[in-house]
């Protein structure tokens, strides 16, 4: 590493970092080829992202088990690949980033994985102000052209232009379902690859929260009820108590995750045995979760109606536990 490189890195560090402490690598953030959604970044957008992604921290699989599972971009460049032409006949360009990590005991395995080429998929998300039709240049939806349709032998796609902000970049373990029905949920001006932001719909109503949680809670209740049928030995009772505590713990994690705006899929990854420790872990994870404008934390349940059905009662009991914890 030359001194210039080290200088660039040290612009982002709180103290002077030496070369021995550093691990650096490069990643391709995005390019100007049409993606599977029939969208692409304009060359100008790549140039803007070159600036906006500078200094941005990326995370690995949204994994917060270790404290140092993140890397920061310290240099970016738009690289032309002369031997490659895009599907629409322009020179192929990539936005390449150099990132660094501080070597620690905790990220040794991760560094080995990056070195071994395992964690190579990167996704980015950013705000796009302007999306235009590739055929006529009109704003998306303002012309009769449909992306994916061919007009006089030219395939229509949408050009993402006018980048206003970069939100995050992340490593994803090569997803098995890549390209197979991944739903984009960004609204308006968000654009990215497979990111947490897009796979996660913020829970904004009690109904949505109920839907998200009830399945898991119901399954837990059913399982426990089944075990309680008939005689229960002291050993079995102890095991069941533990099981109940475990599912309470899971519920608590989901509740805290919902409050903090963390995707429920990640809730079980939160660590901690007490509400306090789970909250602390959730707080550190929440920093990596980016929300759409207008996001509001999940509401707390209000008065549940009582039911004569024992299953429903058990369900309501769990919900109460979940709320009072």
Write out the residues near Zn ion by the rule CB under 5 A: 133, 135-136, 138, 143, 145
Min dist. Cβ of residue 299 to Zn ion (A): 42
Tell me, rounded to whole angstroms, the distance of Cα 265 from its chain centroid.
Answer: 10
Q: Which residues pair with 100 in a beta bridge?
A: 24, 72
- Catalogue the long-range contacts made by 131-138 (C-beta closer than 8 Å, 24 or more residues apart): 131/39, 131/158, 131/159, 131/160, 131/161, 132/158, 132/159, 132/161, 133/158, 133/159, 134/88, 134/158, 134/159
Tell me, rounded to whole angstroms, the distance of Cα 323 from its chain centroid.
Answer: 26
Specify the residue, 154 or 219, whose C-beta has the smaller distance to Zn ion: 154
Return the CA Rg of the chain. 24
Min dist. Cβ of residue 152 to Zn ion (A): 12
Q: For residue 86, how many other CB atoms are within 10 A of its CB?
A: 15
Specify the residue, 73 or 135, whose C-beta has the smaller distance to Zn ion: 135
Whats the size of the chain, residue-wise?
Answer: 325
* Torsion angle of the four alpha carbons 193, 112, 63, 268, in this order, in degrees rounded to the nearest 10: 120
Min dist. Cβ of residue 131 to Zn ion (A): 11
First-residue to last-residue Cα distance in the chain: 52
Min dist. Cβ of residue 158 to Zn ion (A): 9
Specify the residue, 157 or 255, whose C-beta has the smaller distance to Zn ion: 157
The DSSP secondary structure of 201-256, one letter per residue, reads: PPP-SHHHHHHHHHHHHHHHHHHHHHHHSS---HHHHHHHHHHHHHHHHHHHHHHH
**Separation CA 297–CA 70 (nearest Å):** 26
Specify the residue, 141 or 179, whose C-beta has the smaller distance to Zn ion: 141
**Separation CA 303–CA 300 (nearest Å):** 10
Specify the residue, 145 or 253, whose C-beta has the smaller distance to Zn ion: 145
Specify the residue, 136 or 238, whose C-beta has the smaller distance to Zn ion: 136
Min dist. Cβ of residue 162 to Zn ion (A): 17
**Separation CA 63–CA 196 (nearest Å):** 12
Min dist. Cβ of residue 150 to Zn ion (A): 13
Specify the residue, 132 or 212, whose C-beta has the smaller distance to Zn ion: 132
Specify the residue, 139 or 238, whose C-beta has the smaller distance to Zn ion: 139
Min dist. Cβ of residue 42 to Zn ion (A): 15
Min dist. Cβ of residue 142 to Zn ion (A): 8
Provide the pairing of β-strand 39-41 with 158-172. parallel
Specify the residue, 56 or 145, whose C-beta has the smaller distance to Zn ion: 145
Question: Are the beta carbons of 91 and 205 closer than 8 angstroms?
Answer: no
Min dist. Cβ of residue 168 to Zn ion (A): 31
């Amino acid at each position: 590493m030359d001194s210039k490189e080290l200088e660039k890195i040290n612009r982002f560090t709180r103290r002077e970092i030496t070369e021995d402490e550093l691990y650096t690598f490069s990643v391709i953030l995005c390019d100007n080829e049409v993606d599977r959604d029939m969208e692409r970044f304009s060359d100008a957008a790549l140039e803007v992202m070159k600036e906006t992604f500078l200094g941005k921290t990326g995370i690995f699989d949204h994994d917060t088990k270790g404290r140092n599972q993140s890397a920061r971009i310290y240099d970016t460049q738009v690289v032309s690949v002369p031997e490659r032409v895009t599907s629409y006949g322009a020179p192929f360009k990539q936005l390449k980033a150099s990132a660094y990590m501080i070597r620690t005991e905790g990220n040794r395995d991760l560094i080995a994985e990056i070195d071994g080429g395992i964690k190579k998929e990167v996704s980015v998300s950013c705000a796009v102000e302007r999306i235009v039709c590739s055929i006529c240049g009109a704003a998306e939806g303002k012309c009769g052209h449909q992306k994916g349709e061919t007009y006089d032998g030219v395939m229509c796609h949408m050009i993402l232009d006018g980048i206003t902000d970069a939100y995050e970049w992340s490593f994803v373990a090569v997803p098995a379902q890549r390209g197979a029905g991944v739903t984009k949920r960004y609204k308006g001006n968000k654009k990215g690859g497979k990111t947490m932001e897009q796979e996660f719909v913020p829970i904004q109503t009690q109904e949505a929260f109920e839907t998200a949680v009830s399945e898991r809670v119901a399954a837990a209740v059913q399982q426990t009820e089944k075990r309680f049928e008939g005689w229960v030995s002291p050993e079995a009772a102890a095991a069941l108590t533990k099981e109940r505590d475990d599912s309470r713990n899971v519920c608590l994690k989901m509740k805290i995750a919902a409050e903090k705006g963390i995707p429920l899929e990640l809730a079980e990854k939160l660590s901690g045995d007490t509400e306090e420790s789970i909250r602390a872990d959730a707080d550190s994870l929440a920093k990596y979760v980016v929300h759409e404008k207008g996001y509001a934390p999940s509401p707390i349940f209000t008065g549940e109606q009582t039911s004569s059905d024992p299953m429903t009662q058990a369900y309501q009991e769990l919900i109460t536990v979940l709320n009072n914890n």
